[in-house]
Structures are given as structure tokens and as C-alpha cells.
Amino acid sequence: MRPPLIAGNWKMNKTPSEARALLADLVPRVSGAAGVEVAVAPPFPALEAAAAAVAGSPVRLAAQNLHWEPAGAFTGEVSATMLADLGVAYVIVGHSERRQLFGDTDETVARRAAAALDAEITPIVCVGESLDERESGRALDVVAAQVRGSVGPLGAAGAGRVVLAYEPVWAIGTGRTATSAQAQEVHARIRSVLGELAGPDRAAEVRILYGGSVKPDNVAGLMAEPDVDGALVGGASLDAETFASVVCFRV
């Protein structure tokens, strides 16, 4: 019902030449991974090289952000139309690094997600609590509010077309992963909020990825949880062998 999706978020890493080399190594390693969808999200300048490198393979292309306007005087921004023309299938929106460092809010995240959907690109909408919010017992409420604010404006049909990514900020790049039980608890809450927004049938189809120090040795435990439908992988996606081990978590 929800085919697992493992996506590599390269963040601000890899030149176009490095992307070509990484994908030449990665594509043959993951092409046989049956029943798992694989995507890579290179930085914008490497997207075209990456598109050529994954052409004809099952590896899908993702971008890391987009602007909500289709074109115009928005220096430095990239539109959904441009990404669609490159063959981009997914776009990450509202990553905690964009929320913390570049001013993204639930409202701007929702606008980005809507623009992606209009261009037939699936937004991967990121949510997640800070360490302080977790330690003060507010994780579930914070994440629920982010889902309502970032996905609610898309309407019921739109909310049913997104991918969600739960990325606790304290687990990103820290080597500290949420336990499978912690991830499942939050994912279940996200699905229940999606049920309010999109209806239970659509909510049951939405994939909810976990992100935050996913590695070859912890991915299987996370994926065993009923509401964990994939992973958004940072550091471990920058090496072909390591990322392929994450993708091939079943073997």
C-alpha cells in the first residue's frame, strides 16, 4: 500500500562532477533493490548532471527546495517549472535547516508544497521538534502543529498527495537517532493529523519518512515500525556503498 521510499539529501555537498561519480557507483548497487523506491537530492547545480546519470535507472531525482512563484524577478530562486523540466520527481520542503537558518515558516513551506504539487512534483514536507521541545514533553504537539500549518493549506486532496518526513532536529547530523518507538509514536500522530486534514483513506496512503542519523545499522529497526514508510538520509547518502546498504535494508 505504501512502497518504502529511501531518499538521500545531499545538502550542500557534491559538485556536478562529484555527483556524476557518486551516481555512477550508486546506480548499479541499488537498481536491484526490489520493492524500495530510491531518490537522491543533489544541490541545484548538480541536478542536470544527476538527471543524466540516473536516466534509464529506477533512481528518482529530488531537489532540496523551490520557490512558490512560477517565474519572475526573484533573484537567486528556483521554480517548480524549472525542476519539472529537469525531470525532478520530488522536492524537499521545510527542512529544519531551512526553517532554522533561512527563515522558512509553516506558511512558506505550505506555499512551496502547493507550487510543487501544481507542477506534478511530490513535496517531501519536513517536520520535527527541537531538543528543548522534546525534553519539555512537547514533541507530539509541536509536530502536529507543523503538519497542520505546512500541509493543511493544501486542502484534503493536496494533503493526500504529499510525502511527510519526521526529522527530530536533535537527531540530525548528531549520530543520535530517535529510537524506533519514538519514531513510531510521532509517525502515528502525524498520520492521525493527516486523517483530520485529508480523511483516513488518503492518510493511509501517505508515506511518512524518518530522518536523523539513519545508517545501515539502524534502518531496519526503524523500517519495522508500522508507520515508518522510508527514510530521509543525510550524511550516509554521500557515499555510494553506505547509501546502498541503507537502501538494501531488507537483505
Residues forming contacts to ligand 13P in the complex (CB under 6 A) are 9, 95, 167, 172-173, 211-214, 232-236
Determine whether 69 is an active site residue: no
Q: Is 58 exposed, middle or buried (0-12, 13-18, 19+ CB in 10 A)?
A: middle
Q: Is the Cβ–Cβ distance between 133 and 47 less than 8 Å?
A: no
Query: Which member of 95, 129, 133, 187 is catalytic?
Result: 95
Q: Is the Cβ–Cβ distance between 190 and 127 less than 8 Å?
A: yes
Q: Whole-number minimum distance, CB 228 to ligand 13P, in Å?
A: 15
Q: Whole-number minimum distance, CB 244 to ligand 13P, in Å?
A: 15
Taking the least distance from each CB to ligand 13P, the nearer of 143 and 232 is 232
Q: Whole-number minimum distance, CB 176 to ligand 13P, in Å?
A: 9
Q: How far is Cα 69 from Cα 48, in angstroms, rounded to an integer?
A: 21
Determine whether 205 is an active site residue: no
Beta-strand relationship, 122-127 and 37-41: unpaired
Q: Which of 93, 42, 105, 31 is nearest to 67 (CA)?
A: 93
From residue 42, alpha-carbon distances to 24, 139, 149, 154, 213 in Å are 14, 30, 27, 26, 18
Taking the least distance from each CB to ligand 13P, the nearer of 126 and 198 is 126
Q: Whole-number minimum distance, CB 226 to ligand 13P, in Å?
A: 22
Taking the least distance from each CB to ligand 13P, the nearer of 140 and 219 is 219
Q: Which residue is nearest to ligand 13P (CB)?
A: 234
By annotation, the residues acting in catalysis are: 95, 167
